[in-house]
Amino acid sequence: MKILLCNVSQKYQTDAHDYVGLFYLAGALEKSGFQPLVFHGKPEKLLDEIKKNQPAAIGFSGDFDNVQLITELTLKIKKESDLPVIVGGPQSLGLKQQFLEKSQVDYILRGEGEESLPELLKVILKGEGELDKIKGLVYLKDGRVIETAAPAVIEDLDDLPLPAYHTSLHKNHHYGKLIFTGRGCPYQCAYCAPSPGKQKVRLRSIPLVLAEIKLNLKNNPNLNYLIIMDDTFTLNRERIEEFCRGMTEIRKERDLVWYCECHVGRMKDWMDILPTMIAAGLIRLQIGIESGDQQVIDQYNKHVKVTDIIEFVNYAADCGLTQIATNFIVGGPVEEAGATVKLIQTLIDKAPGVIDIITGFLRAYPGTQIRENPQKFDLQLHDESGFLSGDDYPFVTPKAKSQDQIMKDRQQLNKVIRQGMQKKIKNHELKQEAVMKQFKAALKYGIRSRWFEEISANPRAYEYYYVIYLNEGQAFTETLDFTRDYPQRTFELWRTMTFTEGFPKLDGMALSPLEYELLLRCAGKRSLNEIETELYGLFGGPYQNQMEFHGKLVDILYQFNFKYWLTHFMV
C-alpha cells in the first residue's frame, strides 16, 4: 500500500526542501511492509502527485507555519476522495477538536511516529489492531474528541531504519545534508516547543551515525556540508571526541564540513575541545543567547551566564572557528535598558567577522510555559491562531508594549547589528583570515553568514576581498617592495569614476591629479618603482626630493588600500 508523507510550505523557494524527519518515518513504514512516498515541496504540486500515485493514505507534518495550509489542502483532498489524512509533527501537540472539525483531518498523531504511524495504518487500512491502543492518537468519534494514552518514547534509536531517501518523489533532489545523532533535550527553556519525550535524551551510537554519513556521501557526490539537527549534540565530551575521530577519517577522503548546536552552560567547563571539533570540520556552531539581560535569560530557564557566553565566543573566535551563530529574541520579558545592545556590541568586538547574529520574535508554541502562563512573564498573546504572522509580525509582546512597538524594537536592534558590522568592515577591523573563511564558507559550501552579506553590501569591500580570495591579489603589508609589487585596481574605472563636476570623483571622494594618475597606472602591469619614476617626473616639482615624494606616494597607496581600491601582487 502506498502511503504519501508530506511536508508543505509556501516558503519553499525551490521545488523541494530538505525535511529529514519524513524519511525516518518512510524507513519505518517500509520495515512494516508499506510503500512510502515522500513529498516535501510546493503545495500547488501536491494534488497532482496524489492523482498520479493514488496513495491509500496521506500524512502531513504540521508546524507553526503550515497548519492553515494543511487545512486547505485536506479540504480539497476530501472533495475528490475519502483518503484517510493524518497529521503529526511538532505542531500536533496544539491541534485539537476545533482543528479536526474545521480541516476534516481524520487523525492527529503526536510524538515520535516511527512506531505509532505503522500501527495506525494497519488499523485503518488492514483492520489489524485497535485505535484506542495506539498511543498519542487524537480523533473524532460520534462528534466527540478521543485522546488515547500519552505517546510512547522510542528508547533505542539504533533500532530505527536509516532515512529512506529512495522514497522521494523529487528525483533530482540530493539528500544527506541533514542528520540526527540523538533526540531529546534535558533543558526546559520557557520558549522552546515541547514534544512528548523531549526531556528524555536518547543518543544513537556514533559508529551508526558515521555509517549513515558515509552512505549519504556515497549517494550524494556533491555533499560537502553536514547539518547536525540535534538540540544538544554537545552534551557529552567523550561522544564528541568519538565523532571527531570518525569525521577526521572521513575528511581524508572527502572535504566535508559540519554544523551543530551548543549549550554554552554545559560546554563552558570543557570548551578546550573546540580546536578538536574545528580540526574535524566544524565550520558553524549555533549557541543560544536570546537576551543581554541576565534576569531575562534566567526567566527563560536557559542555565547560562552572560559572562560565560562572552568568554566562550572570545575563545571560539581565537581558535579559528569560521562562524558562531546566535539569535536574540525580540518581544520577550522587559529587559534592562540597553543590555542586549551592549552584549551585541561586545560580541562584535570580541569576534569580528565570526559572530553571526540574527533576531527573531518570541513565539508562543503550544505547550510552552509562555503559551500556558504568559502572565508569569508579564507577556500578552495576540493572534493565537498565527494567521497574521509568518515570523514577520509579533504575536507575543510585553504587556507594556504594542505589536508595532515590538516591530520597531526589532528594526532598531537589527540597525545596531548592521551598523556595528559595517563599521568593522569600513575601518578594516576584520582579520583577513576571518574574512577569507567567510568567503570560502559562502562560495564553496553555500553557507552565507551575515558577515558575508554585509561585505557583499559594500561593493568595494566585496571586490577587494574577492580578488584576495581568488589569490589574484593581496592586501598591502606594513612594508611595500617597490621593485616587485605590482598594484592593481579592484574595480573597473568606467563603472565607478565620475567627472560630472569637472574633476574625477570616486566613491564621493574628489581625486587630486596625482591620485588620479596613480590610480590609472594601478592596472597590475607595472611595478611601483616604474610608476613612481613616471609620476615623480610629472608631479615631483613641489617636493624637496624624491624621498619626500616617495613618502607621499606610500601614504596615498595605503589610503587607496584602506578604501578597498587596491590590492597588489608580487613578481
DSSP string, 217-273: HHH-TT--EEEE--S-GGG-HHHHHHHHHHHHHHHTTS--EEEEEE-HHHHGGGGGG
Q: What is the CA radius of gyration of the chain?
A: 29
* Domain endpoint, select from 147, 166, 185: 147
Strand partners of residue 182: 203
> Phi, psi (5° rounding) for residue 160?
-75, 145
User: In the prediction, which pLDDT does 471 show?
Assistant: 94
Q: Any idea what the CATH number is for the domain that residue 269 is in?
A: 3.80.30.20
User: In the prediction, which pLDDT does 82 show?
Assistant: 92
> Is residue 30 in a domain?
yes
> Is residue 428 in a domain?
yes
Q: What is the DSSP letter of 567?
A: E
Q: Assess whether 97 and 11 both reside in one domain.
A: yes
Q: Assess whether 120 and 192 both reside in one domain.
A: no
User: In the prediction, which pLDDT does 179 show?
Assistant: 95
Q: Assess whether 356 and 489 both reside in one domain.
A: no
Q: Assess whether 214 and 271 both reside in one domain.
A: yes
> Is residue 463 in a domain?
no
CA distance 155 to 159: 9
For residue 68, give its domain range.
2-147
> Is residue 33 in a domain?
yes
> Is residue 475 in a domain?
no
> Is residue 19 in a domain?
yes
Q: Assess whether 131 and 230 both reside in one domain.
A: no
Q: In what order do the strands lie in the sheet with 57-61?
A: 35-41, 2-8, 57-61, 85-88, 107-109, 137-141, 144-147
User: In the prediction, which pLDDT does 193 show?
Assistant: 77
Q: Assess whether 384 and 448 both reside in one domain.
A: yes
Q: Assess whether 362 and 402 both reside in one domain.
A: yes
Q: Assess whether 433 and 290 both reside in one domain.
A: yes
User: In the prediction, which pLDDT does 368 show?
Assistant: 87
Average pLDDT along the chain, 571 residues, taken 10 residues at a time: 92 65 96 96 90 97 88 95 94 89 96 95 96 95 93 93 95 92 90 74 96 96 95 92 98 97 93 97 97 97 95 97 97 96 98 97 87 93 71 89 96 97 96 97 97 97 97 90 95 92 94 97 96 97 96 96 95 87
Strand partners of residue 147: 138
Residue pair 30/167 in contact by the 8 Å Cβ criterion: yes
Q: From the centroid of its chain, how far is CA 157?
A: 26
> Is residue 160 in a domain?
no
User: In the prediction, which pLDDT does 416 show?
Assistant: 97
> Is residue 268 in a domain?
yes
Q: Assess whether 36 and 116 both reside in one domain.
A: yes
Q: What single-letter amino acid sits at 174?
A: H
CA distance 354 to 388: 34
Q: Assess whether 287 and 392 both reside in one domain.
A: yes
User: In the prediction, which pLDDT does 439 show?
Assistant: 98
Q: Assess whether 262 and 219 both reside in one domain.
A: yes
* Domain endpoint, select from 406, 441, 457: 457
Which of 174, 140, 162, 210 minimizes the C-alpha distance to 23? 162
Number of domain units in the chain: 3
Q: Any idea what the CATH number is for the domain that residue 72 is in?
A: 3.40.50.280
Helix (H, G, I), strand (E, B) or coil at 426: helix
User: In the prediction, which pLDDT does 17 show?
Assistant: 64
Q: What is the DSSP letter of 498?
A: B
